Each structure stands twice: as C-alpha cells, then as structure tokens.
C-alpha cells in the first residue's frame, strides 16, 4: 500500500482523489486545503487539514496547486527528505522547495469541474530525481492510468507548448466557427461531426498528411471569396496567416 | 422508389453510392465517369457510362465533381427540366447550367478514400428552387442520414468558411503540435486524448465558455516562456495572433 497526501483540493486534486479511492494499492492519508469542500462523507472529511504543521511524513506528497503557488506552498512543509511532486505541465521540477526529493506527476488532460473523467485513458507524465522515486510514481500512476510516460522537463515543456496549439488555440478556432454560424443563423452543431472526425483522424493519420481544404489545394478563388465573406479584421488576419503556414508547412513533407 | 443518377465518381460520389445501395427506396440508375473504377461487381459496372448522350432523364442527378467543373459538366447534359444538384459547400446553386432545375445536396464531412463513413451522423444541407424539388432531396437525404437541414446559399457559404476554421485550420494546429513533439522526442499520441476531449466538449459547452489556457488567464510568464521556446517565426506569429484573438474575443461574452 502506497500512502499519499494531497496538497490543494482544486480540479486536478479532486479528480486524482476520486481515482485513488477506487484503487486497492493507494491510500490517501491526508489532504491539505484551506477550505473544506462540500459533498464529502465524514470519513473523507477526516482526511482534511488546513494546518501545514499537522502534515505527517508519508510515501508521496502530490502538490496540486497553481503553478505560481508551488514554490511558496512547498516552503511551508516542516518535514524533510520526503518525495514531493507537482502536477504542472509548465513548472520545472526545481520549483519545489529543496529539503525534500522533488518530482513531477503531470496528468495531460483538461479537467472540467464536476465532469467525471476516465483516468485510464489520461496520459500521466512522470519525472523524478532518482530511479527509486520514479518507481513509486510509476506504481501510483499505473494504478489509475494505462498511459504512463517518463518525460523530462524539456520534453514536458514542449508538450505544454504543443498542448496550447492543439487544445487552447483549437478551441478558439471552434469559437470563431461558432460565431460565424450564429451570425448567419446556422446551428453550430451541424459542424460537430466534422470537428469530431478531424480530431479522431489524427489517431491513425499524421496531421500533415491529413491536411485538406482550399489552402493546401491552393484554390485561390475560394480563399478570396472566404476573405471577402469575413468582416472581422482579426479573423481575416488569422485566415491569412494559417493559410500561409499550411502552404509553407507542406514543403517540409 | 426514387431513381438517382450520379455524375462523377470521386470520393464523395463513391461514398454516396455505397450509402444509396444500402437503402430500399433509392435506386442508382446511371453513373457517369470518364474512367471505370476497380473493385466493383459486373452488375455495378453496368451502371457506368462515359458518354453524356447516353444519360437518361430521371428523378435526380447528383453532380459530385470539383467545384470548378460543375458548370462545364452540367452544360453537357442533353436532357431538360430535370432536377440537377451539386454536392459543393462553396459553389452557388446557379453554377448549374440553366435548362434544368437546380439544387444542392451538400454532405458536410471530410471524406477519406477507402475509409467507410457512417452517413447516419453526417449532416446533409439541402437547397432547391421549389418545395416539390426540396421534398425529393429531403426524402433521398433522410434515407441515408438522420441529420438533414434546409440551408440556403448564404448560410451554406458561412458554414463552408466556418468549416475551414474548425477543420482545415484545426488540423494545421495539430500538425504544428505534432512537429513540436517530434523535434523534442515526445510521442504525439500523448496528446490524442486531450485533442479528443477538446473536440467532444463543444457538443455540450459553447466553445467561448470552454476556453482555457495561458491566453485567457493572461498568464504573461507562461506565454513569454512559450514564445521563447518556439524557434519557428511562423509559429511565434500564430501564437501571438491567436493569443490576441482569444483575449479580444472574451470581451464579447
């Protein structure tokens, strides 16, 4: 049995806690949170503390707080030489205050409050200072997910940047599409199957090879009529720069 | 029984043909194609012609050729006053040569060769010059899909522009993400669950409300480190303009 304490009780922490309680080999022993969450049983509530001094040494501390707070929070720990990991894709391993052994336990997914996720399919990226610590992280990760990867800080940073493109920026393109539909009285949901197909296709085809549309066909007439159709100067600019980039990218094939 | 002739035998035409033969109320009577396709049975091959003169009047002609060719192809028809529709999202209804009744039968999906699609979930956008013709198109469309919409030319044009953003441009963002991963020795498939979740989320949440990431949080430190990380000037530019657009868009909330 691996004993785990969770520091912070936001979105990621809550999802991890729900996943851990379903396992047979992980026991959550303490949870640090400034406020007591609602909707938990008495037994679960007994795990909570808002006092750093009451945190006891244990096998693994998972610090699931905002990136900016990791350093400050881990400085408050009174214990020494424990394995302390954060859950951030962007923060380096050494933002964890020295005095403890640091590591990273980064589940690569967007977590929406109150929407249950199936951790089995969520990739977890691990990093540790030594093999023994890595083994602990791996056992914990594998007990909730079947996609566990050793990812060093440089690789994790690249993943984080890539995730901004494929998740945050993609969502913004959806928002633009939705607005265009709204203005023209077309239900955006007509585009849902296309959006889904585009996203699923990359599981079997390299995105570079899956590229379709007027930009890659160099269909000048269609692109001009699209630019004429768009009123928003911002959207025109996005249309031009992405078109240019698609045409530029294909040269790398 | 509605009798349908298909003009052209590219991707869209082939997928429509496969869907029609599975129905009980649609009979494909002729297929016009310059070349004979491989892998069809003798009975199916007997439907083919490469001679415009041999095309007989029938209930519906579906012209599934490249946008630029619609006008030229429909000029070759010797019959008059038949219902002739094209399958394009971008072309207007009147590119179909006069002399016949024109319309549009636009399945909104990316079709990949040799990859079977389930037409039931593919939205089909219809347009006709009169109600009687619309009713024929609707019966044909509903026999292969349960998502059938009356969409006029202006609406269809807006859908086509929106589709470039949510499909073509999104796929390019995936290609950029994939390249960033490759350069840093990270398997791109780690991002697949995130990509899927982002795409499926918009079926229940407005994309504008689903926006996450450093741009919307105005997390300057993270954005600066991402821009520093990106070497490609094109990608830096895309990062900046999409970040700006996300921050600008949120004002519309």
What does pTM read for this prediction?
0.86
By Cβ distance, the residue of A121, A194, A221 closest to B166 is A194
Does residue B211 sit at the A interface (CB-CB below 8 Å)? yes
One digit per residue, the tens of pLDDT, for chain A of length 253 reads 999 999 999 989 999 999 999 999 999 999 999 988 888 888 899 999 999 999 999 999 999 999 889 999 999 999 999 999 999 998 899 999 999 999 999 999 877 666 777 889 899 999 999 999 999 999 999 999 999 999 999 999 999 999 999 999 999 999 999 999 999 999 999 999 999 999 999 999 999 999 989 999 899 989 999 999 999 999 999 999 999 999 998 776 5
> Where are any strands of DSSP class E within B23-153?
26-32, 48-49, 60-63, 83-86, 101-107, 124-128, 148-150
Cβ-defined contact of B149 to A190 (cutoff 8 Å): yes
User: A169-201, pLDDT tens digit by residue?
Assistant: 999 999 999 999 999 999 999 999 999 999 999
Are residues B30 and B47 in contact, defined by beta-carbon separation less than 8 angstroms?
yes
- What is the C-alpha to C-alpha distance for residues B125 and B137, in angstroms, rounded to an integer? 10
Residues in B 232-251 with any Cβ partner in A closer than 8 A: 234-235, 237-239, 241-242, 244-246, 248-249
User: A87-98, pLDDT tens digit by residue?
Assistant: 999 889 999 999
Q: Which parts of chain B fold into alpha helices (H)?
A: 11-21, 42-45, 70-75, 131-142, 153-163, 170-183, 192-201, 207-210, 214-217, 220-229, 233-249
Residue A73: enclosing H or E segment and its boundaries? helix A70-75
Taking each helix axis from N to C terminus, what angle separates B153-163 and A220-229, rounded to the nearest 10 degrees?
110
Cβ-defined contact of B190 to A147 (cutoff 8 Å): yes
Distance spanning both ends of chain A, measured CA to CA: 50
CA distance A111 to chain B (A): 10
- What is the C-alpha to C-alpha distance for residues B25 and B143, in angstroms, rounded to an integer? 8
Q: Bridge partners of A28?
A: A4
Does residue A189 sit at the B interface (CB-CB below 8 Å)? yes
Distance spanning both ends of chain B, measured CA to CA: 50
User: B67-84, pLDDT tens digit by residue?
Assistant: 889 999 999 999 999 999
User: B166-225, pLDDT tens digit by residue?
Assistant: 999 999 999 999 999 999 999 999 999 999 999 999 999 999 999 989 999 899 989 999
Are residues A216 and A250 in contact, defined by beta-carbon separation less than 8 angstroms?
yes
> Which DSSP letter does residue A57 get?
P
Burial of A34 (0-12, 13-18, 19+ CB in 10 A): exposed
pLDDT for B112 equals: 67
Beta-carbon contacts of residue B54 (< 8 Å; ≥ 6 apart): B30
Cβ-defined contact of B90 to A213 (cutoff 8 Å): no
Cβ-defined contact of B173 to A166 (cutoff 8 Å): yes
ipTM (interface predicted TM): 0.87
Among the listed residues B219, B172, B220, B184, the one whose alpha carbon sits nearest the alpha carbon of residue A158:
B184
């Amino acid at each position: 049995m691996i004993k785990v304490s969770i520091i912070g009780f936001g979105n990621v922490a809550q999802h991890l806690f729900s996943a851990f309680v379903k396992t047979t080999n992980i026991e959550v022993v303490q949870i640090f949170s400034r406020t007591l969450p609602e909707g938990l049983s008495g037994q679960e509530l007994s795990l909570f503390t808002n006092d750093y001094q009451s945190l006891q040494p244990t096998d693994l501390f998972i610090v699931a707080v905002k990136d900016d707070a990791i350093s400050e929070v881990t400085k408050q720990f009174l214990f020494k030489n424990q394995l302390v990991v954060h859950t951030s894709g962007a923060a380096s391993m050494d933002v964890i205050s020295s005095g403890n052994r640091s590591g990273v336990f980064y589940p690569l997914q967007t977590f929406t409050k109150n929407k249950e996720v199936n951790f089995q399919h969520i990739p977890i990226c691990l990093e540790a200072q030594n093999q023994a610590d890595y083994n602990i992280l791996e056992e914990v990760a594998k007990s909730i997910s079947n996609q566990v990867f050793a990812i060093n800080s440089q690789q994790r940073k690249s993943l984080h940047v890539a995730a901004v493109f494929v998740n945050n920026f993609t969502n913004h393109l959806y928002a633009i599409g939705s607005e265009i539909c709204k203005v023209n009285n077309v239900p955006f949901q007509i585009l849902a199957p296309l959006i889904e197909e585009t996203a699923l296709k990359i599981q079997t085809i390299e995105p570079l090879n899956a590229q379709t549309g007027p930009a890659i066909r160099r269909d000048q007439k269609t692109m001009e009529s699209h630019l004429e159709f768009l009123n928003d100067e911002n959207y025109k600019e996005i249309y031009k720069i992405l078109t240019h980039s698609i045409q530029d990218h294909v040269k790398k094939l």
